[in-house]
Chains A and B, each alone.
Chain A
Amino acid sequence: MTRDGSLIRVSGLTREYRMGAETVHALRGVDMEIYRNEYVAIMGPSGSGKSTLMNIIGCLDTCTVGEYWLNGVEVSGVGDDELARIRNQEIGFVFQTFNLLPRATALHNVELPLIYAGVSAKIRRRCAAQALERVGLADRMQHRPNELSGGQRQRVAIARGLVNEPSILLADEPTGNLDSTTSAEIMGVFDGLHQQGQTVVMVTHERDIAARARRVITLLDGRVHSDTVREAA
């Protein structure tokens, strides 16, 4: 079943939460594999467990039972600091609400992952500038988030996700806070990145957004409901 270029492999992934006396089963045994240079959309209604899966894949959370292999390394069971290191090196996050630091410039926001990677200031600035150029914001580097439009903010966030050259770009409803024109623009950015070879995993509940991905995994009640690969357009 293992194919060459497997990036993410999860098997029997289970996640339970304690909510007072009740136990919530967010994931009830998820098996899946994502390969290098794939463009995957994870869909599902709210409560289906897609956010939990996303958090586990993003190493923000750990599973209760199961295995998670990222880039050939077993991630389930490593400590907090090691998870932080993996997040820093292997994963680029793009959030629905952008999550930029409001008081920092675009350039500084993009530099953040490099700061935690221990990159020197000079190289940091250059890499951050390059990442901003890649998303078409070369002329907005010194602007603060409140001086940027929603689309521009999300581009800054994408640049921040890319700056450490992660294995996966993980996007959680990246167009959820944007109007349709801007959404199309941002999806164009993701398409472009995918064409350059970037692995993209995107959580969304919008069908037309998911339609841009090559593969759609649908979750329902904490299990994989369907997994379809489309032919290249």
Chain B
Amino acid sequence: MTQLFEGVGIALASLRASKVRAALTILGVAIGVMVVMVIGSMITGINRGVEDIFNQLGPRTFFVFRFFQAGIQVSDGSDEMSPWRRNPPLTVEEADRIAQLPTIHRVVVDEGAGREVEHGNRKLESVSIRGRGARWAEVSGDIMPGRSFTNLEYAASSRVVVVNEKLASEMFGLLDPIGKWIKISGVPFEVIGVYIPPPDIFGEGNRPEAVIPHSAFSKYIPHWRGWMDFLVTPKENTTVQAAIEDVTAVMRSMRELRPAEENNFAIVTQDKLLDSWNQVTGMFFLVMIALSSVGLMVGGVGVVAIMMISVTERTREIGVRKALGAKRREILWQFLVEAATLTAVGGAIGMLLGGGISFIVANATPLPAKVPMFSVVAALGMSILTGVAFGLYPAARAARLDPVEALRYE
């Protein structure tokens, strides 16, 4: 233990003695650790954001998609691999039938397009236009000021629009947007409300967006057909499983599927969505770990170099220590501790930088980046391990030195 402290002390002293050399050596380690920290914090942040959104939807809400593919897949053009060819688009009729089921509390259809929006001489391109069911506001976002559209307005395909805060401020600045008219794709719509979007992970909350009745969307807004989704919320008194079974049965009967045929639609629960999400972030994480280990490797090679120089420079010291009774193991240990201290300092610097970047990201972007505890431990562990692994060879050389030769070394 005393030797451990002594080793750390010696290491810090020799770091101070050759600052530039040490700084260059630990740069690689610092960068490697920094990358691990930043990526770790971002993934944690993204995951928290995803969970926030799901929490807002309510844990029981599930989705009906035209198809669902988890992770990343490559199409070979066959029908099996091209579900958009096999699966017909979802229809409003299907949504209406699902809504009538006794186990279903609410169905919200959602379809989108990017269109230009005009007000007076102001014009914005590629604004996200969402056509949604009348009850959409119950599942996403608060409307303040104003209101959402009514069932009546929905049924009448009324040209009314709820804009998000971003679009309101870009179009009207500080003016009250309620009652103003905007042109979406050249068609005039009346602004009836402003909604505050849920905290969004990819900064979509910062993009202008407008929500209109889906009926009006189908009627007035040119869009790529076939990409409607349903958000389905079961009744309180039923299980999600029972609701899913009912929805499946209705969909199958409407699509006249025979018992042997597979579903040509996809029902996806939040758990499943979260799973596939985690699969993607897990891949991302692995790639980043691989990249940062390159940094650590580069740092490790630097450690070998600086430790070889250190051993050569201190050959005489090694001889003296041996003369005074240091065993091989103790010399080995001393240099390993020195190497590990070197990389641990690099790791600590990398963690400070990484933590700083995460802090900036968390405050300057909507991404709630947070440095997870495990990445602090992992980063420090990795950097110390790098030091030990790459310090082993120089340290073994030091330990093997012959005391007589070492004492004679000039």
Contacts and interface: CB of A to CB of B under 8 A. Distances in A.
Nearest to A172: B407
Contact of A99 (B14, B328, B329, B407): B407
A50 interface: no
Contacts of A113: 324-325
A60 B324 contact: no
A160 B407 CA distance: 16
A199 to B, nearest CB: 18
A85 interface: yes
A55 interface: yes
Contacts of A101: 317, 320
A81 B327 contact: yes
Interface string A24-38: 000000000000000
B205 interface: no
Tell me what chain B mostly uses at the interface: helix, strand, loop, or mixed. Answer: helix
Nearest to B17: A103
Contacts of A61: 403-404
Interface in B306-325: 316-317, 319-325
Interface residues of A, number: 25
B190 interface: no
B3 interface: yes
B73 interface: no
B326 A84 contact: yes
A112 B404 contact: no
Contacts of A115: 2-3, 6
B404 A60 contact: yes
Nearest to B16: A103
A41 to B, nearest CB: 21
B142 interface: no
Contact of A84 (B2, B10, B319, B325): B325
B13 interface: yes
A103 B2 CA distance: 18
Contacts of B404: 55, 60-61
B51 interface: no
B94 to A, nearest CB: 79
Contacts of A81: 327-329
A115 B3 CA distance: 7
B110 interface: no
A83 B168 CA distance: 84
Interface string B1-40: 0110010001001100100000000000000000000000
Given A60-B407, A61-B404, A80-B328, 6 more contacts: A81-B328, A84-B322, A84-B327, A93-B324, A99-B316, A115-B2
9 contacts: A60-B403, A80-B328, A99-B319, A112-B324, A113-B325, A115-B3, A116-B330, A117-B325, A164-B325
Interface of B: 2-3, 6, 10, 13-14, 17, 316-317, 319-330, 403-404, 407
Interface of A: 55, 58, 60-61, 80-81, 84-85, 87-89, 93, 95, 99, 101, 103, 112-113, 115-117, 120-121, 160, 164
Which 7 interchain pairs have the tightest Cβ spacing? A88-B325, A116-B325, A84-B327, A99-B320, A113-B324, A60-B403, A81-B327
